Amino acid sequence: MRFRTAVDGETIKKIDLYLGYIHRGIEKLCEGLGYPQTLHFTDRLDYLSAQQNRHCLCLCIEKALGIEVPRRAQVIRVMMDELMRISSHLLFIGTFCMDLGATTMLFYAMRERERVLDIFERTCGARMTFNYNCIGGIMDDLDAGFVDDVKALIEIMPKCLKEYDTIFTGNVIAHNRMDGVGVLSREDAISYSVTGPAGRASGWACDVRKTTPYGIYSELDFEEVVLHEGDSMARFKARIEEIRQSIRILEQLVDKIPEGEICAKVPKIVKLPAGHWFQQVEASRGAFGVYIESTGGTSPMRLKFNSPCFNLAGVVDHITRGGKIADLITIGGTLDYVVPDIDR
């Protein structure tokens, strides 16, 4: 992705976005593939929301087929989604702080993120593109040490988040660089459809887990993180607090993973009835939606991914005008877009 930036000295006047350098044509490719073959693309859109994205496509197909996913698989899916969210937010914290010059924070955040990736690797066999969710449930059962590993993560994270706040959040230089920088109003967040932590930092309560619950989220006790300042610091703090809420969800589930099947019975040849379906989930960066139009065959007539990063990139010109070039780094970092999620 390229920003063509018009400046007057250090002041930004206008930004033009040039997209389309990576992962183009995914939606069109899906039209020539069977439904199980379309699943692997979701891991490669926002690869830091791989679990949630694939969960969404599976839910959409399952809705069309009328498949009831086993309880064990539903619980594991939600736990994997929240581990994915923690992993994503930790990478944001580390890389963003490094962009602002606080390189030490990268090592702190990566230290905890490695624990999450180890959990993924032991169960999914991968640390990035997991291919774990499948139509009807999940591909494989949990690793024998999964529960102990998750409990160890739950135990250390509150202390680690306090360290992050001590090192960076309360730092006077961080406040000078972030307070009042890149302010996005609630009205503009809604107008530009900026969802996820960036939208909620502007006062827009848009968490799909609360607005239209899916899986077992309606049974869980957690808070939707909504702040009202709308600036770069609020977007940073929103992700810190979302990690706490994800830990809270994992605490409720780690000792209550039910026994049973991990996948429902699915036809060998997957054909969706004629019609159209839509499903949305809360990915790491906001609302991720899947729309399927079917004529009754083994491939979709149309498959549309409505992912959050296109809108996050689209608001950059609006909230950077009048700011400084250095602010562009701060604002872009706190919006936290992932490029392959834009070029669909």
Rounded Cα–Cα distance for residues 160 and 144 (Å) = 26
Backbone angles phi, psi at 157, to 5 degrees: -65, -40
The pLDDT score that the predictor gives to residue 24 is 77
What is the mean pLDDT of each successive set of 10 residues along the chain, which is 344 residues long?
93 92 86 95 92 97 96 97 97 94 93 96 93 96 96 96 92 93 96 97 96 96 96 96 97 96 94 96 97 96 94 94 92 93 85
Say if residues 144 and 226 touch (Cβ distance below 8 Å). Answer: no
Q: What would the two tokens of residue 306 be?
A: 């409505």
First to last CA, the chain: 13
AA identity, residue 99: D
Pairing of strands 286-294, 302-306: antiparallel
For residue 68, give Cα distances in angstroms to 63, 79, 148, 272: 9, 19, 29, 15
2-336: CATH topology is Cytochrome-c3 Hydrogenase; chain B (1.10.645)
Residues in the chain: 344
50: left (phi over 0), alpha (psi -120 to 50) or beta: alpha
- What is the tens place of the pLDDT at every residue in 111-154? 999 999 999 999 999 999 999 999 999 999 999 999 999 999 99
Say if residues 105 and 98 touch (Cβ distance below 8 Å). Answer: yes
For residue 134, give Cα distances in angstroms to 56, 157, 271, 340, 344: 11, 30, 15, 22, 21
AA identity, residue 123: T
Rounded Cα–Cα distance for residues 187 and 194 (Å) = 10
The pLDDT score that the predictor gives to residue 259 is 95
The pLDDT score that the predictor gives to residue 313 is 94
The pLDDT score that the predictor gives to residue 57 is 97
Rounded Cα–Cα distance for residues 209 and 296 (Å) = 30
For residues 183-216, one letter each, b for 16 or more C-beta atoms within 10 angstroms of the residue's C-beta and e for the rest, the string is bbebebbeebbbbbbbbbbbbbebbbbeeeebbb
Which pTM was predicted?
A: 0.95
Q: What is the largest CA-CA distance in the chain?
A: 64
The pLDDT score that the predictor gives to residue 243 is 97
The pLDDT score that the predictor gives to residue 19 is 85
The pLDDT score that the predictor gives to residue 170 is 87
Q: Residue 278 pairs with which residues in a beta bridge?
A: 291
Rounded Cα–Cα distance for residues 145 and 160 (Å) = 22
The pLDDT score that the predictor gives to residue 118 is 96
* Domain residue extents for the chain: 2-336
